[in-house]
Structure 1
Amino acid sequence: MKMKRECMSDRVKQVLIERILNGTYEPGKRLVELQIAKDMETSQAPVREALRELEAMRLVDSQPYRGTRVREVSLHEMQESYQVRGELEALAARLSAPKFHNNPQPLQTVQVVFRDAALAKDLKVLARQNATFHRLIVETSGNSVLLHTWDSLNFEAWTRINLELSQNKIDPLCFVKEHQQIINAFVQGDGNTAAELLRQHAQTTVLTPETQEAAFPL
């Protein structure tokens, strides 16, 4: 019985994580145990366990008299998060550069889908493919500690991207251009340039549209 409950708790946790990261549950939304349990056709116990784990992952906050809510991320937190992400991805770029120099196809495939989504203004696909692009670079580094650390910053990243895209504060085609510059550096076998481009890319994510264009000229 305990094993079955733990398995259900894991399933509930994964569904909640997906809903938080894709924007179904927006920052500040209250997550009610009973409602989630009914929605997922389970008891409240695995939901309660899942919410405790999400709180440990900093995806939700639980406070007396307010219940459990999706954590709201301040601009300052996002800026700090992207500063760290930029450095992590710069390291990942240097480590993964030889592999992408030999085979850039995985990144190019993601880029095609990302570009099509940008042209179609499909925000959900854009956010998902943006995460796929960056995670692929970190995964290809072959450093599991680096990947785990990068993954721990996902919530802040998704919150920022979803917010900016939904409010038209980011021109998706700017992201397409920046991603292509990164791919070009990998194709040329230039890990240092790819690293610097990724660092700049992280910085421009929390800038205004005007400063994005200035930071990444054509």
Structure 2
Amino acid sequence: MPTMEKWMEHGDMPVMNRPETLRGQVESFLREAIMNGRFAPGERLVERELCEMLQVSRPPLREALRRLEAEKLVVIVPHKGPAVASLDTREAKELYALRALLEGFAAQEFARLASDEQIQDLERAVCDLHAQAKNPDRRALLVSKSKIYDVLLGGSGNSLISEVLQGLLSRINLLRATSFSRPERLAESLAEIDELVTRIKARDSEGAKEIAQQHIKNAESAALGMLDTNE
């Protein structure tokens, strides 16, 4: 069986900038595996198999599973044990409605308040996203898009929005991965983000809000289409 280090060598686990505990490494691997579709919604997470796969004991694995349960990526099924959470259409709609409100306001405030340097940081992050769009590794694409949100939220002048959205990050990434799975959605998404940057550079705060909210609505349509297909 490959060790945790071997998983990291092959790009299946994110390499962190600081040392992680064993529990943290297991948690990172499982989170990425769920968001990348390695473990499908509803799939059982058999502790014995995961321990053998990752060559870890049950205590750090169970700690990691508890953390992922708190993020609502894992559910504990009575008499069966842990399984990957499934998002139904109602939950997805609720999450996207919240995203549209928060991210629309964040884009509006970023266009109004961000420094020229922060806008340049946003442009660089978007350029990186375009580069990663050519990369077949979907995890790298999601990481790149997360960097855009880091810049956008950081320059919005409202730490509470960032705090709330960060709390939803894992589930948002799960839905984001779903919406990217429709082939044409990626090109559409890139065009929408480019338009958002154009509005921000023009300091068009209302236009930035409108584009950000439309971007979320389009992502919602794509993701719900995939959910309907899989249900």
Please say whether Structure 1 and Structure 2 have the same fold, judged by a TM-score greater than 0.5.
yes
User: What is the root-mean-square deviation in Å for CA atoms of aligned residues?
Assistant: 2.5
Range that drifts further, 40-49 or 130-139: 130-139
Structure 2: where are the runs of 5+ without partners? 1-19, 224-231
Q: Once the two structures are superposed, what CA deviation does each residue of 1:60-110 show, in whole Å capped at 9, x if it has no partner? A: 111123321110111221121111011111221233222254542222112
Q: Which residue of 2 aligns with 1:161?
A: 176
Counterpart AA for 2:54: M
1:74-153 superposed matches below 5 A: 74-97=88-111, 98-118=113-133, 120=134, 122=136, 124=138, 125-153=140-168
Structure 1: where are the runs of 5+ without partners? 1-5, 210-218
Q: CA deviation at 1:198?
A: 0.8
Distance 2:64 2:135 in 1: 34
Q: Which residue of 2 aligns with 1:34?
A: 48
Contact kept? 2:23, 2:61, Cα under 8 Å? yes
TM-score calculated relative to the size of structure 1: 0.80
Q: CA deviation at 1:34?
A: 2.2
2:60 is equivalent to residue 46 of structure 1: yes
2:213 is equivalent to residue 203 of structure 1: no
% identical aligned pairs:
26
TM-score calculated relative to the size of structure 2: 0.76
Note closer, same or farther for the CA distance 1:17–1:139 as it changes in structure 2 (3 Å cut): farther
Q: How many residues align?
A: 202
Counterpart AA for 1:60: V
Counterpart AA for 2:150: R
Distance 1:121 1:18 in 2: 17
Q: Which residue of 1 aligns with 2:79?
A: 65
Q: Which residue of 1 aligns with 2:7?
A: none
